[in-house]
Amino acid sequence: MTKIDFSNINTSTAQSFKAQRNLIKKLGRGATVLCETCQQPLSLTTPKAQGKKLESGISCVNGCTDILLEFDN
Ligand SMILES: [Zn+2]
């Protein structure tokens, strides 16, 4: 029988979440972070109220990086 190991998936999800948080911290400090795909500087969209949720994101000018972040504040 083949057993599917979900722990690897959970770990990588947690790591990418952590990586995103680090990215936000860097950008929040005013550091320049380049898009892995097009090497253009990523920009941080600061949280703004959209309906009931605060939304912010990280994106590059070409749109190959477009991370939407949600905060339940
Ligand atoms: Zn890009």
Ligand 1 centre distance from Cα of residue 7 (Å): 30
CB 33 within 8 A of CB 4: no
What pLDDT, on the 0 to 100 scale, is given for residue 13? 80
Mean pLDDT, residues 21-27: 88
33 Cβ contact partners less than 8 Å away, ≥ 6 residues apart: 23, 26, 27, 41, 42
Q: Is residue 10 part of a domain?
A: yes
The range of the structural domain enclosing residue 23 comes to 6-71
The tens digit of pLDDT for each residue in 27-65 reads 889 999 999 999 999 998 766 655 666 667 889 999 999
Mean pLDDT, residues 8-12: 73
Ligand 1 centre distance from Cα of residue 32 (Å): 13
Ligand 1 centre distance from Cα of residue 11 (Å): 25
Ligand 1 centre distance from Cα of residue 5 (Å): 32
Cα angle at 24 between 52 and 28, to 5 degrees?
Answer: 95
Ligand 1 centre distance from Cα of residue 3 (Å): 37
Report the predicted TM-score, pTM, of the whole model to 2 decimal places: 0.61
What pLDDT, on the 0 to 100 scale, is given for residue 11? 76
Q: Is residue 1 part of a domain?
A: no
64 closest CA partner among 32, 38, 45: 38
Q: Is residue 36 part of a domain?
A: yes
